[in-house]
Every structure is written in C-alpha cells, then in structure tokens.
Amino acid sequence: MRININQIKDMKQRGEKIAMLTAYDYVTAQVVDRAGVPLILVGDSLGMVLLGYESTLPVTMEVMLHHTSAVSRGAKNAIVIGDMPFMSYQVNAEKAMENAARFMQEAGAQAVKLEGGVTVAATVRRIVDSGIPVMGHIGMTPQSTYQLGGFKAQGKTLQAAKRLLDDAVALEQAGAFAVVLETMPAELSAFISKRINVPTIGIGAGAGCDGQVQVISDMLGLFTDFVPKHAKQFAHIAEVMSSAVSQYAAEVKSGAFPTPKESISLDPAVLADLEKAV
C-alpha cells in the first residue's frame, strides 16, 4: 500500500530519518520504489542532469508532466512528488492551483513541491486547502539562481539565517507537509529542523535534517559534468556504461557480437526452399 504524508510526518516524531531520491523515468522509479525509498521527487533538476540545460529554468509544465507520468507508472509504494517548474506557480495562486492539479490529475502524482518561503506561503495555503499536499523548498533554490548569483550556499549571516527560519515557519504554517533545505550550513538546518514540526529534508544541509534528498544521477555517478560538494557517489554508473558501450562497439567491429545465442535460426528446410525459389 502507498505511504502517505501522515506517515512521513510521524517518522520525524519517531526520530526516524527519511530518504528521498529523484527519479525521472519509469525504470528508475521502479528501482527506487522497490528499494523502499518513501519519497520520490520528479525534480526539475532533470533539466540539467537529463536534458543538458545549464539551469532548471527552461523546464516546462509539459516536460514535467511527461516525466512525472512515467515515474508514477513505476512507483507503487512511494509518494511521487511533482516539482513545479519555473513560472508555473509564481504568477498567481489560481495558476499555481491549476498547475498543481495537473500534476495530480494528468501525471498521477500524490504531492507537489515548489520553491520559496514567506513569498509563496499564501499560494502554498491555497494549494493545500484544495487538497493537494505541498512540499516546500528553501535555501539555495535553483529557480532563483540568477537572483542568488549562482548555486551558492545560503543563510551564512545572521540576517540570512533568520530569513530562512522565517521561511520555514511560514511554510509549516501554510500547511506544507515537509520542507527541503538546500545548501546551507549544517548548524542552521539543524536549528530550523528543531524549530518546525514538519520534516526537513536536506540536500547539502548536513546531518541535522530529518531526512536527506539526492539527485539520483549524482549519487549513482551517472551525471559527471559537475559533481556537487554534497553529493556522495554510491556507484560509478557512467564508468560502467562507458566500458559496456566501448565493449559493444568493439565486438560489433570485430564480429564477436552477435553470436548464435543472440540470433534467431531459420528452419533449414525453409532456407533450402528459399534458395530454390530465387
């Protein structure tokens, strides 16, 4: 049976750490789901790690719905969270609600995530009140990369740290069921995690969060253009793929592949008839 947001909130109360991973397609979602990861985020990070853009800004609703549908088909137990792309929720609360609903109705998600704190709290409240679970996301928010001056750590001064605490509290009060804390000092995320009752899910925010999220392509060692400081490579899949592809190409060239094992044979009588017929 599929896990629900109350069970995720209970995990914080029990002190049980929460694992979340991104997935962007059916097969990966199956692997992540079967491993027992309770939260799968179809992150707009797919714009960078899957589609090769330099930021997440070009990612559209249509692209997100396409990938979220695939993930939803692969994940039977986890909560699938659709990441609301740039300008799908910032224009006004009505447009945000319409787009959040599309993630549920058209793509089979069970929740949405959006970036921002105090400034989006009223929008979060409207979406939550319409019955859609919302995950918040504060700190280094990639959709604001040009405003923030790049993918930089946030909350390093007293004023900035206080602002992030206010953002987290505003999201909790608006009804968010969890909040992603991205790229901020570990002490600050631990402090915020103690101050709010809903789970915090960290990425580059240290061990004091209630859970952790990683971009799957980073933790699998699949996307290697840029390896963030917070990413631990649990595998080196790009190297495995590269060696398999080189071996395949070499075997095609040498004639070693395919062998009879990978081939379909024709009944010798049919072959003999074919030879006679032409």
Q: How far is CA 43 from CA 1, 134, 180, 215, in A?
A: 24, 14, 12, 8
Residue number closest to ligand KIV, CB atom: 43
Residue 21 CB, nearest distance to ligand KIV (Å)? 9
Which is nearer to ligand KIV, 226 or 248 (by Cβ)?
226
Token look-up 């109350």 returns: 6
Q: Of 65, 60, 31, give the one whose Cα is nearest residue 47.
A: 60
Euclidean distance between CA atoms 252 and 243, whole angstroms = 14
Task: Confirm whether 54 is a catalytic residue.
Answer: no
Beta-sheet strands, E only, within the chain: 18-22, 39-42, 79-83, 111-113, 134-139, 178-182, 200-203, 211-214
Among 106, 115, 172, 182, which one carries the catalytic annotation?
Answer: 182
Which is nearer to ligand KIV, 12 or 137 (by Cβ)?
137
Binding site for ligand KIV (CB under 6 A): 22, 41, 43-45, 83, 137, 180, 203, 213, 215
Which is nearer to ligand KIV, 11 or 275 (by Cβ)?
11
Residue 271 CB, nearest distance to ligand KIV (Å)? 54
Residue 71 CB, nearest distance to ligand KIV (Å)? 12
Q: Is 42 helix (H, G, I), strand (E, B) or coil?
A: strand
Which is nearer to ligand KIV, 61 or 180 (by Cβ)?
180
Residue 53 CB, nearest distance to ligand KIV (Å)? 12
